[in-house]
């Protein structure tokens, strides 16, 4: 796609020189604070120019974790139309779309449709399903304008957040209703993002209380499978509210939501019949809702506490199984500065899951209906060893019905070297507790036809993974180091390195094989039972840079590298655990033209995934935005521009068929009043 | 490495199509700190009615109402003096917490509370300042206005005179807009 120049060496040399010059100039131009703001006269102050806050606000310089924050501006200018797309800008986070409604998202490796080492929370509500310890991304959606920020933490956060915050935590935080007073309407129409409408209306409903109502509906077009339409289109509707109350003693937030939708999805029910494959398309029906209320009270300058309660209900009818899940969760937290320099946080949490499942095919679970509890307590102390050196020690003590008590401590050290540079390091332990199917289920994972490397027989072999009561929690000990710096008002950088040592990871026993003969013929049933025999380590490096080159032009880049160091016992084990991209990068350019026109480019790169012959992917999205008046915003957005259609990832479960995502173009209009 | 290749092609491409490269960047300031500094400077031009302060060293109390990021800018004023007066800052969630002061800064998150706030202060000699653009027109005394990249201000003399606050004529000259006798 690039014009071929005659002297590639010279071209390359010159541009490298330019990049180095730019970087060096960025690093050496420190701001000249010749005079503080307080010493200036009013006349002088009036001539000063202001800047919008940099990506690394002061608070991030005080954070001893690998955190990346996606803010409102990032959401708007990315051109993304859903939450998962946004996460592609975060270093170390792998985002792949399996079809128009299924996503595989993970941090620091171990990706997959059923990725299970990432915790996702929306306003304090955990949205992972205990079924497979992962997230059904198709139903995690919001009106984008109501999102204040998405905080993505790579690395364990289990000491605060509990089991399953193993490789990362995604915290989606919505704006208070007070901040969104007014009405905002967004509508879009396009080729892949076929059409949609979202409404947000907030108003004051009492002297200290504000209410926001939201509604959103959209249709997403299907992708492509084997040269034809994949019939995996998605229709979704949702309504929600948020009520904020600021009282004399209590502050409260209450949110609620309800959604209903339908996805198309493609399946392959492998069997010993015919050519062993049975491809079919089926609709998935989803319905759910939640209600959350959270109240906090400041007792005095040194002490505050909060309570939170929520219930979350979801219902899903899918080709292989139906699932009903009800979650009840209560939480208490107390922040207390008990002596100068010590900030103590402690709290407790009780959660109960009620599930009810119906297995249809290739999936089996017993008992079909169950109830299980999770209760925990945590304590953490932030202690200022020196004025600019803070030690954080804490642990979570969590009990689950599958493995009993789990202790998840961490220690973190933050050194605020100067007002613009901070260094941090952490050692933490996290566990992933068994998912329901790992304890009590069975699922068809793979098919080996005759002639396959793993099948020397003349009849097909079907591999089943079976859960076990003896399956333990997976364990991680993570070592991390990071550096964050506001190099100057225009440039901020964030680096982190990690070494993750995994023990007791899930794998299967050597399969027991049984030859089964029925009316359709004979096949070998292989059953591997869950155990915790796998161990190994991963390590890597992540970097994020935000650079305001001129008043009108900003670049945001991120890059991550990781390696896995595992001794896999077999092909299947290697396949199931090696969905990771060695190199990943994202580069965004945001350029403002006169007359409130914005041109934004976003280039992403994901390295090949060797175990599944998934080649590397370059992709590009472009956004043109125009704000003719403060009320109106018009946008033209192109996504997945570098390919007509492209497969991004294959599911780890053979019955789930991925399709090829198509290039898309859509027009979006936003009106505020 | 392909990333490097792409990066340099992209950058060179952008340079070729005329994007300026900033070798030395212009200095800019945090908007919220600047708003606080301007509020502080405006106060230098204001004379409170006799008897407002016990003596020349009595503290000047600034209340900041609203919990958004603008309030954070005022932290830079803590520990400062206006003449001999130490500055005291109180952060209020709502007017229920208000217990008197000399300056009240209304952050823009309180846009929908302006009338209510001004009603409470109706007869008090309190300098009201806000970064809500329409604040001065709605009966507040000083509006901070963001004009392109600079911060300017508008003043409403009717509002200040009604409570006997004297705003120096030097400040009139610097203001972008001066409201008096209703217009």
Q: What is the pLDDT of residue B148?
A: 59
Q: Which two three-digit tokens encode residue A543?
A: 């970097």
Contacts A–B by Cβ distance under 8 A: 137
What pLDDT does residue B29 have? 74
Q: In chain A, which residue's Cα lies nearest the Cα of B25?
A: A550
Which residues in chain A come in under a pLDDT of 70?
A: 1-35, 49-59
**A327 by DSSP, 3-state: which?**
strand
Chain B residues whose CB is inside 8 A of the A605 CB are 2-3, 6
Q: Residue A21: its chain B contacts at CB < 8 A?
A: 23
- CA A16 to chain B, closest CA, distance in angstroms equals 6
The pLDDT assigned to A23 comes to: 43
CA atoms of A616 and A631, how far apart (whole Å):
41
Q: Is B25:A489 a contact under the CB 8 Å cutoff? A: yes
Report CA torsion sign: A73, A78, A80, A86: negative
Contact A18 B15 (CB under 8 A): yes
| Chain A residue at shortest CA distance from B75 | A38
Query: Tokens standing for B143?
Result: 């509006």
Nearest to A49 among B8, B26, B77 (CB): B26
**Opening angle at CA A542, ends A540 and A545, nearest 5:** 165
| pLDDT (0 to 100) of residue A246 | 83
Compute how many other C-beta atoms are within 10 angstroms of the C-beta atom of residue A593.
Answer: 12
Extract the tokens encoding B57. Answer: 């060293």
Please judge whether A50 and B146 are an interchain contact, meaning their C-beta atoms are less than 8 angstroms apart. Answer: yes
Cβ of B7 under 8 Å from any chain A Cβ?
Answer: yes
Q: Give the CA angle between residues A156, A161, A166 to the nearest 5°.
A: 30
B9 in reach of chain A (CB within 8 A): yes
Q: How confident is the model at residue B16 (pLDDT cuts 50, 70, 90)?
A: very low
Q: Give the contacts of A543 (CB within 8 A, at least 6 positions apart).
A: A91, A493, A494, A495, A496, A557, A558, A559, A560
DSSP code string of B24-57: SPPP-EEHHHHHHHHHHHHHTTEEPPTTSSSSTT
pLDDT digits (tens, 9 = 90+) for A188-239: 999 999 999 999 999 989 888 899 999 999 999 999 999 999 999 999 999 9
Look at residue A2 in the predicted model and tell me its pLDDT. 39
Is B41 at the interface with chain A, CB within 8 A? yes
pTM score of the predicted model: 0.76
Q: What is the pLDDT of residue B15?
A: 46
Query: Best interface-test mutation with A: which of B29, B38, B73, B154 has the largest number of A CBs within 10 A?
Result: B29
pLDDT (tens digit, 9 = 90+) per residue, B49-61? 988 888 888 999 9
Residue of chain B whose Cα is closest to the Cα of A553: B19
**3-state DSSP helix/strand/coil percent for chain B, to nearest 5?**
35, 25, 40
CA-based nearest residue in chain A for residue B151: A46
Asked if the Cβ–Cβ distance from A48 to B29 is below 8 Å, we say yes
Query: Cis link prior to A461 (omega < 30° from 0)?
Result: no
d(CA B165, CA B183): 19
Cα A444 to chain centroid distance, Å, stands at: 27
Chain B residues touching residue A23 (CB < 8 angstroms): none
Cβ neighbours of A208 in B, within 8 Å: 94, 96
Chain A: give the shortest CA distance to residue B21, in Å: 7
> Pick from B8, B20, B76: which is nearest to A37 by CB?
B76
Give the SS3 label for residue A5.
Answer: coil
Task: Closest CB to A248: pick one of B3, B20, B96.
Answer: B96
Min Cα distance A81 → chain B (Å) is 25
Contacts of A29 in chain B (CB under 8 A): 24-25
Whether B21 has a pLDDT exceeding 50, the answer reads no
Q: For A38, name the nearest residue in chain B, comparing CA atoms only.
A: B37
Task: Report residue A435 as tokens.
Answer: 């998912």
What ipTM did this prediction achieve?
0.78
Q: How many domains does chain A have?
A: 1
Chain B residues touching residue A595 (CB < 8 angstroms): none
Nearest CA in chain B to A26: B23
A38:B7 CB<8 A: no
CB contact under 8 A, A45 and B30: no
Distance between CA atoms of A152 and A70, rounded to whole angstroms? Answer: 8
Q: How many CB atoms lie within 10 A of CB A14?
A: 14
Q: B19 falls in which pLDDT band (50, 70, 90)?
A: very low
A238 inside domain? yes
Distance from CA of B7 to the nearest CA of A (A): 8
Beta bridge partners of B166: B47
Is there a contact between A16 and B8 if contact means CB atoms under 8 Å apart?
Answer: yes
Tens-place pLDDT, residues B102-158:
999 998 878 778 888 999 998 899 999 998 888 998 899 999 987 756 788 999 999
Contacts of residue A596, defined as CB under 8 A and 6 or more positions apart, other chains included, come to: A626, A627, A628
> A84-104, pLDDT tens digit by residue?
999 999 999 999 999 999 999
Please tell me the distance from the alpha carbon of residue A553 to that of residue A473, in angstroms, as a whole number. Answer: 48
Q: Is residue A290 part of a domain?
A: yes
Choose among B29, B42, B150: nearest Cβ to A37.
B29
CA distance A169 to chain B (A): 25
Asked whether A352 and A432 are in contact (CB, 8 A), the reply is: no
Range of the structural domain that residue A299 is part of = 55-672
Tell me how far CA of residue A606 lies from CA of A116, A559, A659, in angstroms: 20, 10, 18
Residue A20: DSSP 8-state: H
- Closest CA relative to residue A312, chosen from A332, A293, A327: A327
| Residues in chain A within 8 Å Cβ distance of B21 | 18, 22, 549
Look up tokens 């995994």; give the residue.
A502
pLDDT at B17 over 50: no
Contact A371, A383 (CB under 8 A): no
Judge whether A324 and A357 are in contact, CB under 8 Å.
yes
Q: Answer whether A51 sits within 8 Å of B19, measured CB to CB.
A: no
Closest CA to A282 of A297, A269, A301: A269
Contact A79, A623 (CB under 8 A): yes
Q: Is B10 on the interface with A (CB under 8 A)?
A: yes
CB contact under 8 A, A47 and B2: no
**Structural tokens at position A74:** 């990032």
Interface test with B, best of A49, A587, A622 (most B CBs within 10 A): A49
Q: To the nearest whole angstrom, how far is the Cα of B144 from the nearest Cα of chain A?
A: 11
B30-179: CATH number: 3.40.50.2300
Report the residue from A38, A49, A178 with minimal CB separation from B149.
A49
> Taking a contact as any Cβ pair under 8 Å apart, which residues of chain B between 89 and 128 contact chain A?
93-94, 96-97, 109, 111-112, 116
pLDDT at B149: 66
Q: What does the pLDDT read at residue B3? A: 57
In chain B, what residues touch A251 (CB-CB under 8 Å)?
93
| A617 touches A648 (CB < 8 A) | yes
d(CA A597, CA A490): 22
Within 13 A of A150's CA, how many CA atoms are on the CB side? 28
- What is the model's pLDDT at position A58? 52
Residues on chain B touching A618 (C-beta within 8 angstroms): 6
The Cα A93–Cα A452 span in angstroms is: 34
């Amino acid at each position: 796609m690039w014009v071929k120049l005659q002297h590639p060496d010279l071209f390359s040399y010159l541009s490298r020189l330019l990049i180095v010059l730019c970087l060096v100039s960025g690093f050496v131009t420190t701001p000249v604070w010749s005079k503080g703001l307080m010493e200036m006269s009013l006349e002088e102050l009036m001539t000063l120019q202001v800047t919008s806050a940099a990506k690394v606000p002061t608070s991030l310089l005080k954070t001893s974790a690998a955190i990346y924050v996606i803010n409102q501006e990032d959401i708007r200018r990315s051109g993304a139309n859903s939450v998962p797309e946004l996460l592609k800008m975060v270093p170390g986070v792998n985002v792949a779309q399996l079809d128009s409604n299924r996503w595989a998202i993970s941090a620091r490796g171990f990706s997959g449709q059923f990725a299970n080492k990432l915790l996702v929370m929306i306003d304090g509500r955990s949205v992972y399903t205990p079924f497979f310890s992962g997230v059904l991304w198709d139903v995690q959606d919001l009106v984008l304008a109501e999102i204040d920020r998405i905080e993505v933490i790579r690395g364990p956060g289990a000491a605060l957040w509990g089991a399953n915050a193993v490789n990362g935590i995604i915290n989606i935080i919505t704006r208070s209703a007070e901040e969104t007073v007014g009405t905002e309407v967004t509508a879009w129409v396009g080729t892949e993002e076929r059409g949609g409408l979202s409404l947000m209306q907030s108003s004051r409903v009492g002297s200290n209380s504000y209410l926001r109502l939201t509604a959103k509906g959209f249709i997403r077009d299907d992708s492509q499978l084997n040269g034809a339409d994949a019939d995996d289109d998605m229709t979704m509707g949702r309504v929600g509210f948020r009520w904020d109350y600021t009282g004399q003693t209590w502050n409260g937030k209450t949110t609620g939501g309800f959604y209903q939708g339908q996805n198309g999805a493609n399946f392959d029910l492998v069997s010993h019949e015919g050519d062993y494959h049975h491809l079919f398309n089926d609709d998935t029906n989803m319905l759910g809702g939640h209600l959350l209320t959270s109240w906090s009270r400041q007792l005095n300058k040194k002490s505050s506490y909060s309570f939170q309660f929520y219930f979350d209900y979801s219902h899903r009818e899918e080709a292989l199984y139906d699932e009903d899940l009800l979650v009840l969760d209560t939480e208490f937290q107390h922040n207390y500065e008990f002596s100068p320099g010590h900030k103590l946080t402690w709290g407790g949490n009780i959660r109960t899951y009620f599930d009810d499942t119906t297995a249809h095919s290739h999936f089996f679970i017993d008992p079909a209906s169950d109830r299980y509890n999770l209760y925990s307590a945590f304590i953490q102390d932030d202690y200022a060893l020196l004025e600019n050196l803070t030690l954080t020690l804490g642990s979570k003590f969590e009990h689950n019905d599958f493995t009993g008590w789990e202790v998840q401590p961490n220690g973190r050290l933050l050194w605020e070297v100067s007002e613009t540079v901070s260094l941090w390091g952490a050692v933490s332990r996290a566990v992933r507790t068994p998912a329901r199917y790992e304890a009590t289920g069975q699922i068809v994972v793979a098919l080996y036809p005759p002639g396959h490397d793993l099948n020397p027989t003349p009849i097909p072999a079907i591999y089943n993974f079976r859960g076990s009561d003896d399956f333990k929690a997976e364990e991680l000990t993570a070592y991390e180091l990071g550096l964050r710096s506001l190099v100057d008002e225009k440039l901020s950088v964030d680096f982190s390195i990690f070494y993750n040592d995994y023990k007791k990871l899930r794998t299967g026993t050597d399969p027991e094989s049984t030859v089964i003969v029925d009316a359709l013929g004979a096949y070998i049933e292989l059953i591997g039972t869950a155990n915790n025999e796998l161990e190994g380590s991963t390590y890597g490096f992540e970097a994020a840079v935000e650079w305001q080159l001129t008043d009108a032009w900003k670049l945001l880049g991120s890059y991550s590298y990781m390696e896995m160091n595992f001794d896999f016992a077999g092909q299947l084990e290697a396949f199931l655990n090696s969905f990771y991209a060695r190199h990943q990068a994202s580069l965004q350019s945001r350029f403002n033209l006169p007359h409130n026109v914005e041109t934004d480019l976003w280039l992403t790169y994901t390295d090949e995934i060797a175990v599944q012959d998934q080649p590397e992917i370059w992709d590009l999205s472009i956004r043109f935005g125009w704000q003719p008046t403060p009320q109106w915003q018009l946008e033209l957005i192109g996504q997945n521009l570098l390919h007509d259609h492209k497969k991004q990832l294959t599911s780890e479960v053979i019955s789930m068929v991925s399709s090829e995502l198509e290039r898309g173009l859509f027009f979006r209009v936003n009106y505020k009043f | 490495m392909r990333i490097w290749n792409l990066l340099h092609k992209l950058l060179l491409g952008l340079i070729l199509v005329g994007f300026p490269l900033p070798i030395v960047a212009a200095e800019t300031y945090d908007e919220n700190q600047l708003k606080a500094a301007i509020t502080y400077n405006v106060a230098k031009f204001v004379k409170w009615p006799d008897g407002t302060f016990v003596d020349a060293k009595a503290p000047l109390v600034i209340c900041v109402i609203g919990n958004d990021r603008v309030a954070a800018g005022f932290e830079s004023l803590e520990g400062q003096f206006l003449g001999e007066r130490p500055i005291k800052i109180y952060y209020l969630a709502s007017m229920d917490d208000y217990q008197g002061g000399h300056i009240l800064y209304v952050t823009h998150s309180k846009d929908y509370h302006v009338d209510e706030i001004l009603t409470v202060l109706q007869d008090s000699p309190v300098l009201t300042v806000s970064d809500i653009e329409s604040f001065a027109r709605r009966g507040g005394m000083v509006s901070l206005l963001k004009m392109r990249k600079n911060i300017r201000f508008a003043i409403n003399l009717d509002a200040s005179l009604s409570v006997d606050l004297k705003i120096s004529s030097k400040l009139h000259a610097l203001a972008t807009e001066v409201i008096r006798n209703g217009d």
